[in-house]
Amino acid sequence: MQKIVELDQSIVNKIAAGEVIERPASVVKELVENAIDAEATRIEIDVEEGGRKRIQVTDTGYGMVDADVGAAFKSHATSKLKTPEDLFHITTLGFRGEALPSIGAVSRARITTCYRGNEIGARISMDGGVTGPVESTGAPEGTCVDVQDLFFNTPVRRKFMKSPAAEIKAIADVVTRIALAHCHIAFLLRHNGRRVFSLEAGGGLAIRIGELFEPEVREALVPVDFHAEGLSISGYAVKPSVTRQNTTGQYVFLNSRFIRDRGITSAIRKAYEGFLMTGRYPMIFLFADMDPAAVDVNVHPTKVEVRFKEPGAVFGGVVRGVRAALESADLVGTVALDRSSVHREAAIKDAVGQFLSQAEPASHTDRRPLVTPSLALPRQFADAAPAPVDAPPLKFMQVHEQYIVVETPAGIRLIDQHALHEKIHYTRLMRSEGPLPVQRLLVPVTLELSAADWSGVEGVLEIFRAEGFEIEEFGARTLAVYAVPQLLAAADVAELVTEAIGVLGESKKANVASARHELYAMVACKAAIKAGMRLSPGEIEALLEQHEAGDLLDFCPHGRPAVLDLSIEQLDKQFGRI
């Protein structure tokens, strides 16, 4: 009995859709790239309900003739490849011929187009993989693709879509990347009729960055200009005074196509070596141009990953180009260098000497609130259980101004001071009932968001307000903060709110519990003592008491271990005693 059969075309298209169309942002990416390949000078994107209900992309490109309209929804139909050799010399953004049939297979899609110079246009629709006839219609020059009810016939895919706020943020991220690479094109993005951003054409990269990002980013741009045989590196590095908590602020383009490449990410980190604090990531807008034959862009369905013929040359070019730009820039007052090994050795010797010189461990009667009042928990959260009167004196020491070593009956305990204090804050916040104590700010804090973060701000402001923040919209892409939870009275409010909006916008679970966890985890992190902060014996004892007083898991809210125990047996084994 024959077992191998040729798949029905509708199944083929759904399989392709699973590879190319992951979420609404994937639809926007494919349609906008097609518009750019069609030489559009203006592209408008209208989105409803995060793309779940509708995505419409309208461009001023050269449009399509009737014959091309009829082939648009056919699998692997493209105008961008003619011969097999063209695969190794890709100069367009879209070329595989999968986007439109893949979109039409999982939505109700319609294309309306008019070829440049024609008076009458054409229209065709595809409903869940079923293509309708080509019809004549009046239409302006260019193309409009209207996609409705995405994933209506694949309920599992629809179920796994994120919240509208998260989806529109992902769409704004996609449009931001494309807009950075095509400053000669005007872009307009609207969500539920509300303008997210409007970008004018022809202003250059620095102006476009200014339109899309916060003022501190615009003011910290450092030009990058490096040329070697077969490779050109240009764009802007951002001074180390402006950083992110991850690599989302790194925009890397190859021949005007946004890419992600581990080698280039490593090269950027290498170029910034010595300029950044540990755990922070630089922002950068980097454009690499090279012969298309020297790179394979057809190694991934979404074309985000590429393969270089000479990756070492690209790595070296990025390091040299970015490093030269940073070293030639005025970074006085902006560079935060890591502690040197000399400093570390001195800190260790000082801490050990202080520990050994104590005739008696610190008295329990000498305890005082942990750290400073600005870093302490609100009063109703801060009271730790008092130590028993007959408790044996603690033996501990701080090393590297980062870790605490404590003698225990079974061996030793190693504590990450920041992670433990962070978990203490987080646990008490999550267990609190009713609104948090609020501190009004003497002067309201205003902050301008990036276009991507602003796109999803509606969905997260209520989360802030429910947790004690008094925060309102204050003009285009600007928020004003009037009050914060008392715990954050001394924190950098602008930085906290900006990062929290980014994190909450990316949250995979659109529910109150997960949003509360994300916000409290960030609040706890910002309020906790930091690595590099020297603690007095009394402060260390207070930290240890708070840990012992609560039934805390020994991990911070982000999953990093806060406490590690080493038994006498483990130590004996390491030293060869057993």
What CATH number is attached to the domain comprising 67? 3.30.565.10
Which residues constitute the domain of residue 306? 213-328
At residue 128, what are phi and psi to the nearest 5 degrees? 60, 35
Please tell me whether residues 190 and 228 are part of one structural domain.
Answer: no
Q: Give the CATH number for residue 275.
A: 3.30.230.10
In the listed set 171, 206, 241, which residue is the last one of a domain according to the structure? 206
* 436 DSSP assignment: P
Number of alpha carbons in the 13 Å side-chain half-sphere of residue 256: 15
* 124 DSSP assignment: E
Q: Specify the pLDDT at position 390.
A: 57
In the listed set 157, 191, 206, which residue is the last one of a domain according to the structure? 206
Whether 467 maps to a domain, the answer reads: yes
For residues 417 and 543, is the Cβ–Cβ distance under 8 A?
yes
In the listed set 184, 206, 228, which residue is the last one of a domain according to the structure? 206
Tell me the C-alpha distance between 245 and 99, whole Å. Answer: 33
Whole-prediction pTM value?
Answer: 0.67
Q: Specify the pLDDT at position 19.
A: 58
Handedness of CA 37, 39, 42, 48 (dihedral sign): negative
Please tell me whether residues 130 and 100 are part of one structural domain.
Answer: yes
Please tell me whether residues 151 and 167 are part of one structural domain.
Answer: yes
Whether 352 maps to a domain, the answer reads: yes
Whether 54 maps to a domain, the answer reads: yes
Please tell me whether residues 322 and 197 are part of one structural domain.
Answer: no
Please tell me whether residues 122 and 222 are part of one structural domain.
Answer: no
Please tell me whether residues 225 and 145 are part of one structural domain.
Answer: no
Q: Specify the pLDDT at position 363.
A: 38
pLDDT tens-digit series, residues 136-180: 999 999 999 999 999 999 888 888 888 888 899 999 999 999 999
Whether 333 maps to a domain, the answer reads: no
Tell me the C-alpha distance between 204 and 208, whole Å. Answer: 6
Please tell me whether residues 255 and 200 are part of one structural domain.
Answer: no
Cα end-to-end distance, the chain, whole Å: 66
Identify the residue whose tokens are 């077969």: 230
Please tell me whether residues 55 and 195 are part of one structural domain.
Answer: yes
Tell me the C-alpha distance between 441 and 480, whole Å. Answer: 11
Please tell me whether residues 202 and 217 are part of one structural domain.
Answer: no
Q: Which of 200, 174, 175, 164 is nearest to 185 (CA)?
A: 200
Tell me the C-alpha distance between 244 and 221, whole Å. Answer: 15
Q: Which of 287, 286, 290, 309 is nearest to 299 (CA)?
A: 309
What angle in degrees, to the nearest 10, is found between the helix axes of 262-271 and 311-328? Answer: 30
pLDDT tens-digit series, residues 488-531: 766 788 888 888 887 776 654 445 566 777 778 877 887 788 88
Degrees, nearest 5: CA angle 198-258-212: 25
Q: Number of folded domains in the chain?
A: 3
* 83 DSSP assignment: S
Q: Which two tokens stand for residue 550?
A: 């609560």
Long-range contacts, 198-204 (Cβ 8 Å, 24+):
201/41, 201/42
- Helices (H) and strands (E) counted in the chain, each on its own, are 19, 25
Q: Which of 335, 173, 340 is nearest to 242 (CA)?
A: 335
Q: Across the strands, what pairs with 289? A: 232
Please tell me whether residues 121 and 65 are part of one structural domain.
Answer: yes
Contacts with 58 (C-beta within 8 Å, 6 or more apart), sequence order: 43, 44, 46, 142, 143, 144
Number of alpha carbons in the 13 Å side-chain half-sphere of residue 368: 9
SS (H, E, C) 464-510: HHHCCCEEEECCCCEEEEEEEEHHHCCCCHHHHHHHHHHHHHCCCCC
Whether 498 maps to a domain, the answer reads: yes
Q: Specify the pLDDT at position 427.
A: 83
Please tell me whether residues 219 and 129 are part of one structural domain.
Answer: no
Q: Which of 397, 393, 371, 394 is nearest to 382 (CA)?
A: 371
Beta strand pairing call for 121-127 and 130-131: antiparallel
Q: Give the CATH number for residue 500.
A: 3.30.1370.100
Calculate the alpha carbon distances from 500 to 67, 117, 177, 422 in Å.
50, 49, 21, 16
Whether 2 maps to a domain, the answer reads: no
Please tell me whether residues 447 and 526 are part of one structural domain.
Answer: yes
Whether 1 maps to a domain, the answer reads: no
Whether 525 maps to a domain, the answer reads: yes
Question: Residues of the chain whose pLDDT is less than 50?
Answer: 81, 87, 95-97, 332-349, 351-387, 508-510
